[in-house]
């Protein structure tokens, strides 16, 4: 995985986000954390972010607001929502992923590969 793939990790639980960031960074991703939707909106719409990962600690209405705002500016950028249980549904135009580290990494790798066809600088 290219080390310059930058993930915006959004969530309300600092400890959980910190642990997830360590896993992602060990897998070669560059991670920016946002603990509020306001910060995530500012960062997620910039070209400095390649993918947005939304934690299950962000309520659905906030997820939808964030995804909608990102889609206005960055329509093709992958947005993944971590689910807390098997019955969870994806927020608007996002992909769901499990919280288990290997499943999460697999989903991120797949999203980056698919997105790299639109942004060649992400290709491995």
Return the beta strands (E) in the chain as ranges.
6-10, 30-34, 51-54, 79-82, 95-97
Residue 123 domain flag? no
* Domain assignment of residue 122, yes or no: no
Whether 122 has a pLDDT exceeding 70, the answer reads no
Identify whether 89 is part of a domain: yes
- For residue 84, what pLDDT is reported? 75
Residue numbers of the domain that contains 77: 6-117
Report the percent of the chain where pLDDT is more than 90.
46
Tell me how far apart the alpha carbons of residues 105 and 12 are, in angstroms, rounded to a whole number: 21
- Which CATH number covers residue 67? 3.40.50.2300
For the segment 18-71, what is each residue's pLDDT rounded down to a tens digit?
999 999 999 999 999 999 999 999 888 778 899 999 999 999 999 999 999 988
Tens digits of residue pLDDT in 69-119: 988 888 888 999 998 765 555 555 567 777 788 888 888 888 888 776 555
Cβ neighbours for 8, distance < 8 A, ≥ 6 positions apart: 32, 34, 40, 43, 44, 49, 51, 52, 53
Query: What pLDDT score was predicted for residue 2?
Result: 44
What pLDDT, on a 0 to 100 scale, did the predictor assign at position 15? Answer: 96
CA atoms within 13 A on the CB side of 117: 5
Residues contacting 47, CB < 8 A, separation 6+: none
- How many folded domains does the chain comprise? 1
Burial class from Cβ neighbours inside 10 Å (0-12, 13-18, 19+) for residue 57 reads middle
CB 120 within 8 A of CB 58: no
54 pairs with which residues across the strands?
A: 10, 81
């Amino acid at each position: 995985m290219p080390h310059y793939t930058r993930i915006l990790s959004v969530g309300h639980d600092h400890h959980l986000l910190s642990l997830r960031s360590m896993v992602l960074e060990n897998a070669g991703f560059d991670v920016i954390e946002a603990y509020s939707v306001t910060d995530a909106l500012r960062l997620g719409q910039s070209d400095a972010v390649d993918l947005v990962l939304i934690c299950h600690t962000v309520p659905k209405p906030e997820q939808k607001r964030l995804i909608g705002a990102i889609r206005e500016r960055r329509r093709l950028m992958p947005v993944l929502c971590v689910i807390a249980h098997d019955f969870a549904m994806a927020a608007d135009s996002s992909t769901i992923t499990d919280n288990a580290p290997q499943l999460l990494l697999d989903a991120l790798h797949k999203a980056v590969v698919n997105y790299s066809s639109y942004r060649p600088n992400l290709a491995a």
